Amino acid sequence: MEEQENSIPQIDPLDKEIASLKKRVAAMQKRLQIECSTILSSTPIQNIIQEASSTSSSSLLKSTLATKQPDTASSLQKRSAQQAAYMQQCTYRIAAPITAFKIRDPDPNAVDGGHVLGIRFEVMSQGHFLRPYYVMFNRPYPDSAHLRVHRHTVPPAIPVGGLAARHLPPPRSVDAQQQQTTQDLDRFARAMRREIVRFHNRLGLTADLRKTVGLQRKSRGAGAAVAPKDVVEAGIADVEAKHVKLAWADGRSGRILMDQDGKVEKFVVFGPEGRDWRMTRLLFDPRDGVDDIARKLRRYAET
């Protein structure tokens, strides 16, 4: 028994300090990278670098830095060009969140000779660009220019089939003697991006709730004391990210129901004896949003 107890790994305080220092160094490196990018993208620095590249004899930057690091000016010019290209790319992605392009299906048996139309959807969440989503179309209908969704990388929560049936209906047969259907690719693209943005907004609201109640802080160790009023779980409970489940340390649970735009429709709390109406009224008002509920949860835990 004593050998088994001694074999249990113990967390060394020095290891904790090393892990904390590593996190601080990573945060400082990220901050340094952001500050360097900000400085390089400023207009005065851009003017100085351009002067350094154009006039080699009377360059302020080269005269101050060439004594110790002769290639500093060229390195700054390269970094400045990379930063300018990155800013231009971000500007394009912000100004044109929906772009179309043509691709060729390499399959020799592909419909319509392998001609495929692709649409790219740009999405930003919490100040960062996410990986773009793609929807590709082909024309499988004979003697018709109607499009059909061929492939896509959109999350399952987005009703691609429903949007396609509404805005891109298939052509009707000639025997039906009915007016041919028309497709509206522009409305389909706008509706698709609206649904994608709504989906990521709901994900962002849940992430902000976790951050507000302290679930994203890594400083709390495994053996740290947890108060009965602390929220120990908060996460997405469905594919569409409309339900958020909550759990308290004292055994109570709760649910937040959001609509498409992230507005709170219902909020319930369940205790050992069923629905806890008192706590529900304490934490929720019909005019509250997810951020309001998160702040009330934090204040409730601190009391």
Q: Considering the chain, what is the average pLDDT of its residues?
A: 83
Q: Between the CA of residue 285 and those of 46, 72, 201, 271, what are the distances in Å?
A: 51, 59, 21, 19
- Cα dihedral 51/52/57/59 (nearest 10): 90
pLDDT confidence band for 224 (50 / 70 / 90): low
Average pLDDT for residues 265-287, to the nearest whole number? 93
**Cα separation, 278 vs 274, whole angstroms:** 12
Amino acid at site 158: I
**Cα separation, 71 vs 40, whole angstroms:** 17
Residue 241 has pLDDT above 60, yes or no: yes
Residue 68 has pLDDT above 60, yes or no: no
Which pLDDT score, from 0 to 100, does residue 61 have?
52
Q: What percentage of the chain has pLDDT greater than the value 70?
A: 83
pTM above 0.85, yes or no: no
Q: In this structure, which long-range contacts are made by residues 50-54, counting pairs with CB atoms below 8 Å and at least 24 apart in sequence?
A: 52/76, 52/77, 53/77
Amino acid at site 178: Q
Average pLDDT for residues 176-195, to the nearest whole number? 85
Average pLDDT for residues 12-19, to the nearest whole number? 81
Q: Helices (H), strands (E): how many in the chain?
A: 9, 11
Residue 135 has pLDDT above 60, yes or no: yes
pLDDT tens digits along 71-103: 566 777 777 777 778 778 888 888 889 999 999
Q: Is residue 214 within 8 Å of 220, Cβ to Cβ?
A: yes
Which pLDDT score, from 0 to 100, does residue 215 have?
83
Check residue 149 and give left, alpha or beta (phi > 0: left; psi -120 to 50: alpha): beta
Which pLDDT score, from 0 to 100, does residue 42 have?
76
Distance of alpha carbon 291 from the chain centroid: 18
Which pLDDT score, from 0 to 100, does residue 217 have?
60
Which pLDDT score, from 0 to 100, does residue 176 have?
53
Which pLDDT score, from 0 to 100, does residue 94 have?
84
Amino acid at site 42: S
DSSP secondary structure, 190-220, as one string: HHHHHHHHHHHHHHHHHHHHHHHHTTT-S-S
Give the highest mean pLDDT range of 12-26, 65-79, 199-213.
199-213
Of 108, 205, 195, 216, the C-alpha closest to 152 is: 195
**Cα separation, 218 vs 24, whole angstroms:** 12
Which pLDDT score, from 0 to 100, does residue 270 have?
95
